[in-house]
Amino acid sequence: MLMTEAATYDEFSMFEENAREAGLSYDEPPAVDRCETTLEDGRRLSALRWGASPPDLVLLHGGGQNAHTWDTVALALGRPLLAIDLPGHGHSGDTSADRPVGPRSLALDVAVMIERLAPAASLTVGMSLGGLTATSLAGDRPDLVQRLFLVDITPGVNHDKASDIISFLAGPETFASFDEILERTILYNPTRSESSLRRGVLHNSVQLDDGSWVWRHQRGRPRQLEGDDAVDLDHAGLWDTLGSSGAPLTLAKGSESPVVDDDDVAELRRRRPDAGIHVVDGAGHSIQGDRPVELAELIERAIASS
């Protein structure tokens, strides 16, 4: 199976399967291309550009994910958009061992690509680490964030709330087969269908010459997740960024996710009483995977409401 999976992988071949599973109509393949921006230090950022017009949306994925996590959402939206692979993730170039990978440094990097490819985007959507990155971007480059949409994340995230995510990301560095890497993914994502997770693993892993499999975000990089202390989740300062941002703000929280709790919602309401807050029933942390059509509807409402 492992050789077949690697040999037949085509990142643009599964959109019809995405649409069918979500109950979306599918008449023809969408216009999607992979584009790239080179940063000043030579690192490369990669992204998926949907549509032929200038992107109206920017989508930033969570830690350990990649731009394809938004495929079904993008199909449901039908808008021109830019889904970025964060540095060290997906098809973006590896992050050097001594380079910080927190929201601020990530925001500085993605700002270069957004400024070049999507400077007039009406909404920036960020999930988990991507949401913290988008928040930092809103503080550093408010000209690039007209509206901000957070997917199951606030600056109140901590190790307890993110324990399942940390545990998953701190798993084995290599897997003997595709079945093995898929089995672990299924174990940690009980709210998702196996077909959806299989697509996600194909997009997010690569097979090495010896037949083993690794996550794209771990390929060629030193081990960074060796326990709770290795994961910096001290993002409390971003509460001030959210509070002072003039960008209209929306939060979508998964009803089955522990990452955003009642205290976080209360703090968000205190800081931003104008924020729109929505609970997506039946969704875990990755709402874009669990309830993509519902999330697309909320995104449309966020665009239309301001």
C-alpha dihedral, 56 to 62 to 64 to 69, nearest 10°? -50
127/57 Cα distance (integer angstroms): 14
Q: Tell the burial category of 255 from Cβ atoms under 10 Å away from its Cβ (0-12, 13-18, 19+).
A: middle
Give the closest residue to 149 by CA, choosing from 136, 131, 133.
131
Query: Which among 46, 89, 91, 128 is annotated as catalytic?
Result: 128
Angle of helix 15-22 relative to helix 194-204, nearest 10 degrees, comes to: 150
Residue 259 and residue 285 in contact, taking contact as beta carbons nearer than 8 Å: yes
> How many CB atoms lie under 10 A from the CB of residue 17?
16
Active site residue 152: yes
Reduced to 3 states (helix: H, G, I; strand: E, B; else coil), residue 260 is coil
Query: Which among 203, 205, 285, 290 is annotated as catalytic?
Result: 285
Active site residue 203: no
Q: Tell the burial category of 123 from Cβ atoms under 10 Å away from its Cβ (0-12, 13-18, 19+).
A: buried
43-55 b/e with 16+ CB inside 10 Å = b?
A: bebbbbbbbeeeb
DSSP H or E segment with residue 76: helix 71-77
> How many CB atoms lie under 10 A from the CB of residue 39?
16
Give the closest residue to 299 by CA, choosing from 161, 137, 121, 53.
121
Active site residue 217: no
Q: How do beta strands 205-207 and 213-215 pair?
A: antiparallel
Query: Which among 56, 109, 152, 264 is annotated as catalytic?
Result: 152
Catalytic residue positions, numbered: 128, 152, 285
